[in-house]
Amino acid sequence: MTDLSDFIQQVKRSNDIVDVIGSYLELKQRGTTLFARCPFHGEKTASFSVNRNMQIYHCFGCGESGDVIKFVEKYESCTFMEALEILAKRAGLKMPETEAQKLDKSLEEKRKKKDVYLAICKDTAVFYYKNFYAPQGQVARQYMQKRGFDAETLKKFGIGYSPDMYSLVRYLERKNYSHEDCLKAGVLQSKSDGTVFDALAGRLIVPVFNMSGKVIAFGGRGLDEKTIEFGKYKNTSETYLFTKRNNLFALNLVKQQKQQSALPNIVIVEGYMDVIAMYQAGFRRAVASMGTSLTESQAKLLSRLTDTVYICYDGDAAGQKATVRGMDILDEAGLEVKVITVPENLDPDEYIKKYGAQAFEKLIEDALPLPDYKLRLLEKAYPIDSDDVAKRNNALPKYVNGAISMLRQLDDVRQAQYLAAVSLKTGYSQEYLRRKLQTAEEESEDTTQEATLSPEEKAKFFVAACLLTNQPFASLQEKPYCEREFLSKLFDYIFRCKNRGEAPQADMVYTVCPNATQQEYNGIIGVDFSPSCAEKNEKYFNECKQSIVRENIKRQREILLRQLKSNPENASELLQQIAALNDKINF
């Protein structure tokens, strides 16, 4: 096969979009369409739709849409040609190599470079590891022993040590790696004069692995005051292999746990040492956000492994702020969120060292669901239990407003549950709180609700859907007039294809109309084209087609009437044309 476009169509025909996406996501039937929770953004309710008739997907939450190839490209984070290759292999088809090379000549070069960067990171990890156990690594070993880490744990996490600024440079040079590649891999940095050096010199080293278990970055912990002056903790810079927002420390180990048995939950902590301490204490489901606030990307990674997440950040004020930011992101990703409160402003590592694993297990058991934690924070901010009547009266309205804001984010069942709790806590009746909640929701509603589609517009939506999906009974000789921009653009596309002798593609609806509303998309993808509806659809199409034809004739008649007013000298000819149109529309 010499034509790549033909091969692409063959791949799409050989890979039903429902089967392919169903192998990645759990799809549930809703009417004529299947739905799942969107893998491309965090959400609680399933708004990611897959339409078998049109062979397209669309998320009504984030707007992501496309065909089966684009889904694989997006989900697997690969190029178009890599996605095409995955699907071709799935269907037992052979890729047309020459065409693939034309489309992406740099693909192989990119793969080679990535392999080089991974090799550099691996060899760097080996260098650090060996130095940890060498005489110069004694200071690092003593530090970890003092913190109570045993030999097995240190080996499991590949703990290392960087002795100075230049030993790693010489080691990598002997391995024949170029300075440029080492800089791009993130293991070396350069001075203004071009000299390269190890920025983690004098630090305890903790390797960071990707989901596949390959080293992609390093964290360094200062061991003396001189090093700590430049930061107690320091990470390698973000690179082609590593970005903080898209990774979680120890996620590879949690993934291994998932492969061995069901994963009831994951605990998120703030730092490397917390994860390592928890692992040694028997908690094998901990990951660290590496000192950064949680991101949507990290939430999506977690949602692929579990349904329940515990947040256990440090007990200080900064840790509490990070908890609030993080739990909302996790909640929006559809995860059940609970918060572990560590007493005495200790971090998890310190708490386990001081009180033991059993005490920490009790903290997990006592973890607060997200709404309870938010209400507790409100109680701290607004002392509604104060013995001072003036303070209490001042705090109550603020507490209630905060609670109402929180309640609005809950589903109906949990809303009723927590509304009762707030009523009990404040003394306000449930009816009063319910009215405040209703008022808040009404005020937040968008007052610019979309108008109901007119019968004429419904007809045009249906005709467009039939033409886009190439229904055997669907044909239209003249483009209809459309005031709605969405329909106008769709029919422009359909008739461009018609004039070129090509069949329109249903998945182009999102490309042609990228900024349409959910209602407009539903008017196209919500049509049931199953065989049992064929006869009914054909009948309705003919009715809609006649409606469009009549409307076009009426518009022609209006144009002629305007011409008659402005050009009375041509009255005879214009009146004949108007009479002919009147006969057609039965005026």
DSSP string for residues in 498-566: HHHT----GGGHHHH-TT--HHHHHHHHT----GGGHHHHHHHHHHHHHHHHHHHHHHHHHHHHHHHHH
User: Does residue 439 surpass a pLDDT of 70?
Assistant: yes
Q: Find, among 98, 99, 95, 86, the residue nearest to 15 by Cα.
A: 86
Give yes or no: residues 93 and 122 share one domain.
no
- The predicted-structure confidence for 254-281, as pLDDT tens digits, reads as follows 988 877 776 789 999 988 999 999 999 9
Q: Which of 29-43, 203-217, 231-245, 399-413 has the largest mean confidence?
A: 203-217
**Alpha-carbon distance 221 to 204, whole Å?**
5
Token output for 380 = 């701290």
Q: Which of 289-298, 364-373, 438-447 has the lowest mean pLDDT?
A: 438-447
Find the angle CA(301)-CA(303)-CA(306) to the nearest 5 degrees: 115
Cβ–Cβ under 8 Å, residues 292 and 244: yes
Give yes or no: residues 220 and 168 share one domain.
yes
Domain membership flag for residue 450? no
Give yes or no: residues 304 and 330 share one domain.
yes
Give yes or no: residues 318 and 380 share one domain.
no
Give yes or no: residues 422 and 477 share one domain.
no
Of 365, 393, 416, the last residue of a domain is 365
Of 242, 269, 284, the last residue of a domain is 242
CATH number assigned to the domain comprising residue 276: 3.40.1360.10
Domain membership flag for residue 447? no
User: Does residue 574 surpass a pLDDT of 70?
Assistant: no
CATH number assigned to the domain comprising residue 521: 1.10.860
**3-class SS at 378?**
helix
**Predicted model pTM:** 0.60
Domain membership flag for residue 195? yes
Cβ–Cβ under 8 Å, residues 563 and 570: yes
pLDDT score recorded for residue 106: 59
Give me the torsion for CA of 73, 79, 82, 88, rounded to 10°: 50
Q: Mean pLDDT, to the nearest integer, of 112-127?
A: 96
Domain membership flag for residue 491? yes
Contacts of 272 (CB under 8 A, 6+ apart): 206, 219, 221, 233, 249, 288, 290
CATH number assigned to the domain comprising residue 12: 3.90.580.10
Give yes or no: residues 259 and 330 share one domain.
yes
Contacts of 534 (CB under 8 A, 6+ apart): none
Residue holding tokens 């989901």? 211
- Report residue 128 CA to chain centroid gap: 35
Give yes or no: residues 141 and 228 share one domain.
yes
Give yes or no: residues 250 and 235 share one domain.
no
**Alpha-carbon distance 242 to 208, whole Å?**
9
CATH number assigned to the domain comprising residue 211: 3.90.980.10
Give yes or no: residues 72 and 36 share one domain.
yes
Q: Find, among 39, 40, 33, the residue nearest to 18 by Cα.
A: 33
**Alpha-carbon distance 473 to 460, whole Å?**
15
Q: How many domains does the chain have?
A: 5
Q: How far is CA 407 from CA 372, 413, 434, 437, 580, in A?
A: 11, 11, 10, 8, 65
Of 442, 467, 482, the last residue of a domain is 442
B/e letters for 235-246, b = 16+ CB within 10 Å, e = fewer, are bbeebebbebee
pLDDT score recorded for residue 452: 60
**Alpha-carbon distance 136 to 132, whole Å?**
7
Q: Which of 197-201, 210-214, 476-480 has the largest mean confidence?
A: 197-201
Phi and psi at 397, nearest 5°, equal -60, -35
Residue-number span of the structural domain to which 570 is assigned? 455-584
Domain membership flag for residue 140? yes
Q: How far is CA 319 from CA 78, 301, 314, in A?
A: 36, 22, 5
Beta strands at 308-311 and 266-269: parallel, antiparallel or unpaired: parallel
**Other C-beta atoms lying within 10 Å of the C-beta of residue 183:** 16
pLDDT score recorded for residue 11: 92
Give yes or no: residues 521 and 577 share one domain.
yes
Beta strands at 65-66 and 160-161: parallel, antiparallel or unpaired: unpaired
pLDDT interval class at 130 (50, 70, 90): very high
Q: Mean pLDDT, to the nearest integer, of 444-449?
A: 40
**Alpha-carbon distance 328 to 321, whole Å?**
11
Cβ–Cβ under 8 Å, residues 200 and 218: yes
Burial of residue 212 (CB within 10 Å: 0-12, 13-18, 19+) is exposed
Domain membership flag for residue 448? no
Q: How far is CA 474 from CA 102, 468, 497, 534, 545, in A?
A: 37, 9, 14, 11, 9
Amino acid code (one letter) for 468:
L
Give yes or no: residues 117 and 234 share one domain.
yes
By percentage, how much of the chain surpasses pLDDT 70? Answer: 88
Give yes or no: residues 74 and 113 share one domain.
no
Cβ–Cβ under 8 Å, residues 532 and 525: no
Domain membership flag for residue 100? yes
**Other C-beta atoms lying within 10 Å of the C-beta of residue 555:** 13
Burial of residue 31 (CB within 10 Å: 0-12, 13-18, 19+) is exposed
Q: Mean pLDDT, to the nearest integer, of 352-366?
A: 91
pLDDT interval class at 446 (50, 70, 90): very low
Domain membership flag for residue 119? yes
pLDDT score recorded for residue 518: 65
Helix (H) or strand (E) holding 493: helix 485-500
